[in-house]
Amino acid sequence: MTDTDSTVTDPASLNNLSDAPLRDLPADKPPEGHMPSTLLRMLNNAGARAVLNAPPVDLGIAEHLPYPFLALVGQHEMRIALLLAAINPAVGGVLLIGPRGTGKTTAVRSLSVLLPDIEVSLCEEGCLPADFERDGAAGVCAECAAKIARGEPISKWAQVNLIELPLNARLEDVVGGINERIAVQQNKVRIERGILARADQNLLYVDEVNLLEDTIVDAILDAAAAGSYTVRRGPVAGTYRSRFVLIGSMNPEEGSLRPQLMDRFGLRVVVRGLMDRTERKEIYQRSRAHRLNPRGFIRQWGAATLDAREEIGAARELLKEVTVSDAAMELGLDLVRELDIDSHRAEYTMFEAARAYTAADGRDVVQVSDIRAVASMALRQRRSQFMVDFADHQQQEDNAIRERIDALLKVNAS
């Protein structure tokens, strides 16, 4: 890990914005009694502020140059949840719940830079070399089969994209529909790939998911769960890959999400504004630095970002080997029973999140401490009584979950 702190210059010179040494900023607190993993340490230790001293250049392009993930302040749980979903898509996505202006969208937009490059098809049908290797020429379209015969590539490596679902998207935009231009011009009926197909291998962000029509949310969740989907329009049908990391966000003040839909998001994070003055000041200063000189700010975090990207790539590889120890399995199942949770997605998500967490820490066996680290994110708001008034009960519930774990650990230890 690169210690970007070595580039910190005298904080007192930061245009008098700061009257306290920034390096005293408290690190985020990991869950009690837990040893921080490599990724957690990275999130907590990353710090670079010299950019604040660089001459301000307002390029007006901050929007296109996402704020670095590692420069986010606080919101420990949100960042962990996003990383776990990025390492292990089987976690089933993340739902961020909280008011506007708490950094949800900034965090999601910053995530794609951290993900390893993906192999993308060069053709509209989405053919990949793996299809050819598996099924021969029948596995790809005629054009790609011809290309392969000529020894030309049918795919390239590209950076992961963040696909943001527009709020006014229609079902046809989302799943795809008949391409009317081709239908009229060439008298051919062809199905156009929808947003879900374009999101394959990428990140799909659905802001204000609670304001979308249920049919659309259903389609997204079905596609995310299955990893592919089929569109039928009369006699034509098309099947598309849709292996994306799904991230939804909602402001509960603007309406709720049906419990059935809520249940289908893997991890849930309640995002609140930070109450710590030092942290808020730091957020202001970093936002300002990013706005004034986005390229400089991003460069400042470049080394830490590269490190994290490598860690995530390694964690994804290691994930294949990660198994759940008997003790961790028993604890997880006991916990779900004690909390009276019906949905089987609860333990599935919890174990998959724990596997990702373990892989992020460079280990290959899930221990009880890994279950403890992810249990709240995986289990909260899966008990119906908490659906009603979750804001008030959130803290209570989190405490209850931790207490249960401690009690169970005591019982198991004695």
Q: Which is nearer to Zn ion, 124 or 340 (CB)?
A: 124
Q: CA–CA distance from 150 to each of 126, 144, 146 (Å)?
A: 19, 10, 6
CB of 123 to Zn ion, least distance (A): 3
* Chain-centroid distance, C-alpha 404: 28
Site map (CB under 5 A) of Zn ion, residues 378-397, x = contact: --------------------
The three-state secondary structure class of 45 is helix
d(CA 72, CA 341): 33
Span from 82-90, 137-145, 181-189, 283-291 in contact with Zn ion (CB under 5 A)? 137-145
Question: Of the two residues 52 and 144, which places its CB atom closer to Zn ion in the complex?
Answer: 144
Sign of CA dihedral 284, 246, 269, 367: negative
Shortest gap between Cβ of 142 and Zn ion (angstroms)?
A: 8
Closer of 127 and 405 to Zn ion (Cβ)? 127
Q: Rounded to whole angstroms, how far apart are CA atoms 305 and 301?
A: 6
Binding to Zn ion (CB under 5 A) within 76-135 occurs at 123, 125, 127
Instruction: Indicate if 232 belongs to the active site.
Output: no
CB-based contact 162:108 (threshold 8 Å): yes
- The span from the CA of 273 to the CA of 47, in Å, is 21
Minimum Å gap between C-beta 270 and Zn ion is: 43
Length of the chain: 414
Query: To the nearest whole angstrom, how small is the minimum distance from the Cβ of residue 115 to Zn ion?
Result: 24
Of 109, 345, 363, 404, the catalytic one is 345
In angstroms, rounded to a whole number, what is the distance separating the alpha carbons of residues 414 and 65? 54
Supply φ then ψ for residue 391, to 5 degrees. -60, -45
Buried b (16+ CB within 10 A) or exposed e, 124-162: ebbbbbebbeeeeeebbbeebbebbeeeeebbeeeebbb
Within positions 308 to 367, which residues make up the interface with Zn ion, using CB under 5 A? none
Query: Between residues 123 and 387, which has the closer beta carbon with respect to Zn ion?
Result: 123
Hey, is 173 helix, strand or coil? helix
Choose which of 17, 50, 54, 141 interacts with Zn ion (CB under 5 A).
141
Closest approach, Cβ 239 to Zn ion, in A, equals: 14
* Backbone angle region of 93, left / alpha / beta, with phi > 0 → left and psi within -120 to 50 → alpha: left
Sole residue written with tokens 């962000």: 205
**Contact status: 144 vs Zn ion (CB under 5 A):** yes
Binding footprint of Zn ion, residue count (CB under 5 A) = 5
Q: How far is the CB of 122 from Zn ion (least distance, A)?
A: 8
- CA–CA dist 234, 47 (Å, integer): 56
Name which of 142 and 184 has its Cβ closer to Zn ion.
Answer: 142
226-380-359 Cα angle (round to 5) = 60
Instruction: Find the shortest distance in angstroms from Cβ 149 to Zn ion.
Output: 13
Nearer to Zn ion, 8 or 122 (CB): 122
Rounded CA gap, 109 and 299, in Å?
17
* Sole window of 19-27, 138-146, 288-296, 396-404 interacting with Zn ion (rule: CB under 5 A): 138-146
Residue 117 structure tokens: 């490059």
Nearer CB in complex with Zn ion: 129/313: 129
Structural contact between residues 111 and 308, judged by C-beta atoms closer than 8 angstroms? no
At 34, the amino acid letter reads H
List residues binding Zn ion (CB under 5 A).
123, 125, 127, 141, 144
Annotated catalytic residues are 345
